[in-house]
Amino acid sequence: MTRSGVLLLVVCVLGVAGCSDDGTAPTNLPLVFTAQLSPANEVPAIGNAESTGRGAVQITFNVTRDAANAITAGTVNFHFQLNGFPGTTAVIAAHIHSAAAGVNGPVVVNTGVTAGAVTTTDGVGTFTASGITVSPATIQAIVNNPAAFYFNVHSVQNPGGFTRGQLSRTL
């Protein structure tokens, strides 16, 4: 066999070994979701001083799967950013809720943000939380239909939430 033939054979073998498209091999790769946050998405929409800002959240689920590729355990990491809000905005909570756009729903994942954990400076604030345990059923429900879940942030002025966005899977 020629040298180029051996190289071609090695590339083909490595290509087949590295690419399983049968979907049966478990993958523990992170699942990443995002949402663009807006006061206009809240129900009802925010019309007071906190209606001027926007934000974004990245939600990363780190999962463990069994041999059948079912999620058996998981944790979540959050990173959200806010900007354009009044400097007096005081964040008191942030969560993932279960509900479609235009509908309010129950909290299904709590970030752990509490009053005083996030303050805005000149209308800008960030928060990161990691390693929060989430039930496999909740993660699977979000994977199955991310648009049926939203992330929102609550403030002293708007305890029901002042900025919200439906989840979208990015990875």
pLDDT digits (tens, 9 = 90+) for 93-137: 999 999 999 999 999 999 999 887 787 888 899 999 999 999 999
CB 81: neighbour CB atoms within 10 A? 15
Rounded to whole angstroms, the Cα distance separating 59 from 30 reads 10
Q: Is the pLDDT of residue 11 over 50?
A: no
Quick one: pLDDT band at residue 17, thresholds 50, 70, 90?
Answer: very low
What is the architecture of the domain spanning 24-169?
Sandwich (2.60)
Rounded to whole angstroms, the Cα distance separating 140 from 155 reads 29
Rounded to whole angstroms, the Cα distance separating 94 from 37 reads 12
Instruction: Answer for the pair 78, 91: CB distance below 8 angstroms, yes or no.
Output: no
Mean pLDDT, to the nearest integer, of 16-39?
A: 74
pLDDT of residue 8: 38
Q: At 29, is the secondary structure helix, strand, or coil?
A: coil
Percentage of the chain modeled with pLDDT above 90: 75
H helix intervals, 2-121: 3-18
Phi-psi region of 84 (alpha: psi -120 to 50; beta: other; left: phi over 0): left
pLDDT of residue 25: 64
